[in-house]
Structure 1
Amino acid sequence: MIQLTKDGGVWKVTLARPDKANALTEDMLRQLVDIMSSAHEARAVILTGTGRIFSAGADLDAARAGLATSGLWEALSGAIAGLPGLSVTALNGTLAGGAMGMALACDLRIAVPEARFFYPVMKLGFLPQPSDPMRMSALIGPARTKLILMGGQKINAEEALSFGLIDRIVPADDLLAHANALATDTIAAKPEIAHQIKTMCQ
């Protein structure tokens, strides 16, 4: 349910459970952690999904069984944040719940116009993973982070762009091509230069 392709230094990681809104099981999370932990040889990583939803977050049955509070979420976002190359989330649709952490940990986020963004963790009786509010607040500020996490607001792509939660809105037909284009200069540069520039931006 996790697909990995490698092409010229670009690793494309695809959530492939469209019949379940790409909701993440424990096995899927473990696969993602393993892939991202081994992706240090990649010059760029593109994270995307199949279907009309990027991810609904944790699989509900798995969440009730304890996945909602698993350390795997934090391990995944930490592995993504630690990648030396460029990381891009190409959001093919709505981003919800714990899956938000993956996107927040990436360097860039692009989304289709139909995407929606929400994180109903408080309503479900759980805390977000520790790094998620910090990364979200760094992007959009404390008040807007509370709007999403505590106010329970679902925001659309235009609002997400104006907040700074995403960096561009891209038509679905061009989404992956645009993600690849964003990685072109990084792939062409010397790896140590690209990594140093990334470090300087943090």
Structure 2
Amino acid sequence: MIELDKDGGLWTVTINRPDKANSLTAAMLEELADIAEAAREAQVLILTGRGKVFSAGADLEAARAGLATSPLWERLSGAVAALPGLSIAALNGTLAGGAMGMALACDLRIAVPDAKFFYPVMKLGFLPQPSDPKRMVALVGPARAKLILMGGQKITAEEALSYGLIDRVVDSVALLDVARAIAADTLAAKPDFAGTIKAMCH
């Protein structure tokens, strides 16, 4: 249910559970974290999904069993944030709940026009993962972060683009092509350049 394609320095990770809105079980989440930690040797990591939803977050049964508050979410987002290379979330559809953490941790986020973004933690009786609000605030500011996290609002792709939550809206057919095109300069450069530029940007 988690697919990994390695093409030289380009690693593409695909969540493949479209019949369940790409919701994540504990085993899937752990596999994603393992891949993200190993991806320190990649120059570019692209995260995407199959179907119309990038990920609905925790699988409902797994969430009830404790996955919603598992440290695996922080392990995954922390590993993505720590990558020396370029990380791109190529969002093939709606992004919800805890799955937002891995996208927030990426360097760039591109999304299809019909994608929606929401993080209904208060409604479900959970707190967000510790690093997610900080990363969200860095992108959209405190008021809009509260609109999503406390107001439970579902944000459209156009709103997300205007807020700074995503960086580009891309036709679904061209989504991965655009992600690879963005990755091209990083892949062509010396491997240590990406880490140096990231450090300069921060």
Q: TM-score normalised to the size of structure 2?
A: 0.99
* Pair 1:155 & 2:144 matched: no
The CA deviation at 1:8 is 2.3
Report 1:33-72 matches (<5 A): 33-72=33-72
Q: Which amino acid aligns with 1:7?
A: D
Which residue in 2 is equivalent to 1:103? 103
Aligned residues: 202
The 3-state SS of whatever aligns with 1:122 is helix
Write the distance in 2 (CA, Å) between the matches of 1:193 and 1:154.
37
The one-letter code of the counterpart of 1:183 is A
1:198 and 1:181 mapped to 2: Cα distance?
19
Amino acid at match of 2:140: I
CA deviations over 1:140-181 (Å, ceiling 9, x no partner):
000000000001100100000000000000000000000000
Secondary structure, aligned partner of 1:123: helix
| Amino acid across the alignment from 1:190 | K
- For the residue of structure 2 that corresponds to 1:103, the secondary structure is helix
1:175 aligns with 2:182: no
Alpha-carbon distance between aligned partners in 2 of 1:24 and 1:70, rounded to the nearest angstrom: 12
**Cα shift at 1:86:** 0.2
Moved more, 189-198 or 170-179: 189-198
1:65-98 superposed Cα distances (whole Å, 9 cap, x missing partner): 0000000000000000011100000000000000
**1:37 CA displacement:** 0.5
Superposed CA offset, 1:18-76 (max 9, x none): 00000000000000010001011101000000000000000010000000000000000
Distance 1:193 1:139 in 2: 24
Distance (whole Å) between structure 2 residues aligned to residue 32 and residue 127 of structure 1: 22
Tell me by how many angstroms 1:114 deviates.
0.5
Q: Secondary structure at the match of 1:109?
A: strand
Instruction: Flag as ranges the 4+ runs of structure 1 deviating above 6 A.
Output: none
Aligned-pair Cα RMSD in Å = 0.5
- Structure 2 counterpart of 1:80: 80
Quote the Cα distance in structure 1 between the aligned partners of 2:151 and 2:36. Answer: 32
Query: Where in structure 1 are there 5+ consecutive unaligned residues?
Result: none
Equivalent position of 2:138 in the other structure: 138
Identity of counterpart residues, as a percentage?
73
SS in 1 for 2:95: strand
Alignment partners' CA distance in 2, 1:28 and 1:6: 18
Give the TM-score normalised by the residue count of structure 1.
Answer: 0.99
- Secondary structure at 1:38 match in 2: helix
